[in-house]
Structure 1
Amino acid sequence: MLFLLLAFLTIRQRANRQRYQLRVVPIWQDVVKVVGAGAILAGFVATLDRYGGIPVPVLLLLALLGIFTWIATQTVFGRRIYAVGSNLEATRLSGVNTNRVKLAISALMGLMCAFAGIVNTARLAAGSPSAGSMGELDAIAACFIGGTSMRGGSGTVYGALIGALVMASLDNGMSMLDVDAYWQMIVKGSILVLAVWIDVVSGSNRR
């Protein structure tokens, strides 16, 4: 399903760029991108099948990945999100209701937090008010590792997902090595600082 969605979005993006007489990358690049994404998805599904099937949270995650990637890249609302993050005042002067965009983003964030709480409660068969505490560091680090700029206006949904996988792998590895909790926080904080430093350096070079 995600493979077909990616292929459809790629074809639609090419058609839109041709219609507005914008530069279109060679078709082989798009084919390689779609085929590569399909191969990764196929390997991912095959790996999970060997462990008893794909868990429901993973299916929910993939569905949300497709939906929000489409929103970010193919809708006016997605373009406005990038514009607000890049330059709030210029976006407001362009006639965009920036307060409404920020309110919608906050509402979506609350909805995703609710989904996370439901999934966590279903997985543990118990609910706790403190569940997810100190997860902000992981979330912010995942975004920066995935290529989101601290200045705003750039980043992708799948990049944030890759960053989240990196942070989850790091958490799991340190837990298996029986690393103390405070050292885990130091390591993750150091990774966050490094990611921000790389973003600042690359931004300075672009200027």
Structure 2
Amino acid sequence: MTKTRSARLPQPLPYATQIAFFSRLREGNPHPVTELSYTNAFTLLVAVALSAQATDVGVNKATKALFASVSTPQQMLDLGLDGLTEHIKTIGLFRQKAKNVMALSQILVDGYGGEVPTSRAALMTLPGVGRKTANVVLNSLFGIPAQAVDTHIFRLGNRTHIAPGRDVDQVERAIEDNVPAEFQQNAHHWLILHGRYICQAKRPRCAVCIVADLCPYEEKTT
């Protein structure tokens, strides 16, 4: 599990600063969405499960042909393990991920009538589905303000003091506790995209960052 280096966490940004921070992100991208390609709840669940330790771009390339013919758990079972493996072989850990997708598809058919459940607890019983994957599905499909914390959000939450935490669970709780309610639904999308394209790990693009003046990060780039 990812941890911060500091033994003492900073205080989250003040409420008024949080409002200003997210207002600017919203102005720049009023309706943020996941960059994973999908056609329905099942294909999003599969795409997010496949995206662990892989890029969204790589997953989208691998699933383009797959999702053109497979959109339900039963169709995935009909495709079979070998067929799925052939589609996703360019993705990291593809063999284990293929087994997980086949297993979760069987569970959805047997236990949920082929539908994706709408509770985090139920989602997390599926093979290959952790809390982050469940939160993406809950947020993107069912309108629940769940916070899917990945490495980008973990870094950004601590670097900007939006949501400091020693691990991803603490950062998730910090977002829920500190980000103003009006921004909760889209907070994780804005933070992921900002971390992916602007507040990057090795060399953050502070010169073009629209919230740079609100960010306490001391090692700003020019």
Flag the structure with larger Rg: 1
- Structure ranking higher in helix proportion: 1
TM-score greater than 0.5 by the shorter chain: no
Q: When the two structures are superposed, what TM-score results if normalisation uses the length of structure 1?
A: 0.28
Q: When the two structures are superposed, what TM-score results if normalisation uses the length of structure 2?
A: 0.26
Higher relative contact order (CA 8 A, sep 6+): 2
